[in-house]
Amino acid sequence: MTGLRDKRALVTGGSRGIGRAIVERLARDGVAVVFSYLTSSDPAAEIVTKITAAGGTAHAVQADLGDRDAAAQLYREAEALIGPLDILVNNAGVVADDLIADTTDEVFDWAFGVNVKSPFILMREASKRLRDGGRVINISTLNTVMVGPRMAPYASSKAALELLGRVAAYELGERGITVNSVLPGATDTELFRDNNPEESRKALLSLTALGRIGEPADIADVVAFLAGDDGRWLTGQSIRAAGGLLA
């Protein structure tokens, strides 16, 4: 992807699934990447080894983004490792799967803390410190438009993240910084498999125009497009990366 070589990126939740694919794709395009992980230290180390062996630059940082102080510290640590950032990808997220009637205050606060507050803090840091012409990319979910039961804290927190991105696009546009959200549909990750039994996966497959479940690399390619020069005229958008699901 043009315009990415020698850029610097922070990707949250980069040790597994879509986050890992984003880290590996950006590194392949010449981006120096810092990524966070919560508990997956072995996969994180494996990614760093793989990227370094290929001649790239990657650093893994443990961070619990449910902790309100962790996000700002993560941004500062990323800058200390690779210098001023050009790209912020807010990918880390949690799924709270329960009926509204059964959702506790603690679960609601946890979902909004990880899915909204930490990305907000990282965007606040980026608004002051991201280099001019930079990119902010928030990973949301198609569940903000394809709603159903048992997803109130998850879907509503991701919808809030999208709205934050739209506001940030206006506030940061004068510096040439774009802010967009990517809404993955059914994507073959551990998180997706854990939260969707086989019957549900088959139903989603039947609704997808391109006739398959997405791969993490499909989402990573969209992120790379938005992060590169070719994505310069897109900002404030919520882009459905879903293979035609709900088309």
Nearest Cα to Cα of residue 187 among 215, 218, 147, 222: 215
Identify whether 75 is a catalytic site residue: no
Q: Does pLDDT of 241 surpass 70?
A: yes
Confidence class of residue 202 from pLDDT cuts 50, 70 and 90? Answer: confident
Among positive and negative, which fits the CA dihedral 43, 49, 55, 59?
positive
What are the angstrom distances between the C-alpha of 46 and each of 33, 43, 91, 129? Answer: 14, 5, 19, 30
Q: Does pLDDT of 1 surpass 70?
A: no
pLDDT tens digits, 62-93:
999 999 899 999 999 999 999 999 999 999 99
What phi-psi label fits residue 30: left (phi over 0), alpha (psi between -120 and 50 degrees) or beta?
A: left
What are the angstrom distances between the C-alpha of 105 and each of 69, 79, 110, 116, 120? Answer: 20, 35, 8, 16, 20
Q: Quick check: pTM over 0.75?
A: yes
Tell me, what amino acid is at 72? Answer: A
Instruction: State residue 247's pLDDT score.
Output: 61
Instruction: State residue 85's pLDDT score.
Output: 98
What phi-psi label fits residue 133: left (phi over 0), alpha (psi between -120 and 50 degrees) or beta?
A: left
CATH class for the domain made up of 8-236? alpha beta
Instruction: State residue 208's pLDDT score.
Output: 93
The residues spanned by each domain of the chain are 8-236
Q: Does pLDDT of 190 surpass 90?
A: no
- Please give the DSSP secondary-structure letter assigned to residue 13: S
Q: Which of 37, 75, 154, 170 is catalytic?
A: 154
Cβ–Cβ < 8 Å for 48, 58: yes
**What is the C-alpha separation between 140 and 146, in angstroms, rounded?**
12
pLDDT tens digits, 110-121:
999 999 999 999
Report helix, strand or coil for 82: helix
pLDDT tens digits, 28-51:
999 999 999 999 899 999 999 999
Cβ–Cβ < 8 Å for 145, 200: no
Average pLDDT over residues 211-225: 97
Q: Does pLDDT of 134 surpass 90?
A: yes
